[in-house]
């Protein structure tokens, strides 16, 4: 690929600097010193979006160094966020995830009314029962390779 074609493909070459002085001007002399011998072009191929993060990359071509800004998508939060479940323990982890029939590694138990519980004879206001605590179906933790 020609030098010009590479520029066009990657789209956002922002500066062309000679070795040394230019890099130093951008405070990148340390970076260049560390990586000039290994710097290589990396194309992300995506057009920058409004929330993309600019990242400085360095490309060495012949006797010139190109300092360019590439845009990569930022790490995105989950659309649905994270909600609290109850703190689990062996004695409190029973319950169900409403509306789900789960099949897989760990079985989720379904809570049921205690045996022998008497039905209420007369409708009376009662405190709202706390929502059932869903039983975890997976653990996230530091990874230990499967042995």
Partner 1 sequence: MVTGAADVAAARRAVESLLDEIDLACSRFRADSELSALNRAGGRWTAAGPLLLEALDAAIWTAAATGGAVDPTVGRALRVIGYDRDFAAIEPSREPVVRLGPVPGWQAVELDRRAGRVRLAPGVEVDLGSSAKALAADRAARAARTASGAAGVLVALGGDVAVAGRAPAGGWPVLVAEDCAVPVDGDGEVVLISDGGVATSSTRVRRWTRAGVELHHIIDPATGAPVRGPWRTATVAAASCLEANAAATAAIVKGDGAAAWLAERNLPARLVGEDGCVVRAGGWPGSEEVSR
Q: If we measure between CA atoms, which residue out of 53, 70, 62 comes closest to residue 15?
A: 70
Name residues contacting partner 1, limited to 115-134 (CB under 8 A).
131, 133-134
87 is a contact residue toward partner 1 (CB under 8 A) = yes
Candidates 71, 65, 55, 69; CA nearest to 29 is: 65
Shortest approach of partner 1 to residue 60 CB, angstroms? 10
Report in angstroms the alpha-carbon separations of 116 from 94, 111, 119.
Answer: 19, 15, 9
Binds partner 1 by CB under 8 A, chosen from 5, 82, 118, 129: 82
Q: Which of 5, 21, 79, 118 binds partner 1 (CB under 8 A)?
A: 79
CB neighbour class for 99 (10 Å; exposed up to 12, middle 13-18, buried from 19):
exposed
Instruction: Please state the closest distance from residue 24 (CB atom) to partner 1, in A.
Output: 18
Q: Does 27 bind partner 1 (CB under 8 A)?
A: no
Confirm or reject binding of residue 24 to partner 1 (CB under 8 A): no
Closest distance of CB 57 from partner 1, Å: 6
Is residue 135 within 8 Å of residue 95, measured between CB atoms? yes
Return the ∠ at Cα 85 (arms to 119 and 136), rounded to 5°: 90
Of 10-18, 19-27, 39-47, 117-125, the window that binds partner 1 (rule: CB under 8 A) is 39-47
> What are the tokens at 17?
């600097």
Using CB under 8 A as the criterion, which residues of the chain lie in contact with partner 1 when the complex forms?
A: 34-35, 37-45, 53, 55, 57-58, 70, 72-90, 93, 97-106, 131, 133-147
């Amino acid at each position: 690929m020609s030098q010009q074609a590479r520029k066009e493909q990657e789209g956002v070459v922002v500066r062309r600097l000679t070795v040394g002085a230019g890099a130093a001007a951008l405070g990148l002399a340390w970076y260049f010193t560390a990586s000039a011998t290994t710097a290589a072009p990396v194309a992300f191929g995506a057009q920058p979006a409004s929330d993309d993060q600019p990242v400085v990359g360095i490309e060495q071509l012949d006797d010139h160094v190109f300092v360019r800004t590439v845009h990569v998508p930022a790490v995105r939060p989950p659309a649905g966020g994270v909600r609290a479940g109850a703190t689990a323990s062996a004695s409190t982890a029973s319950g169900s995830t409403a509306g789900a029939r789960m099949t897989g590694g760990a079985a989720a138990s379904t809570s049921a009314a205690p045996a022998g519980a008497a039905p209420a004879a007369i409708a009376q206001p009662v405190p709202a029962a706390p929502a059932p605590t869903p039983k975890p179906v997976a653990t996230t933790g530091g990874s230990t390779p499967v042995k």
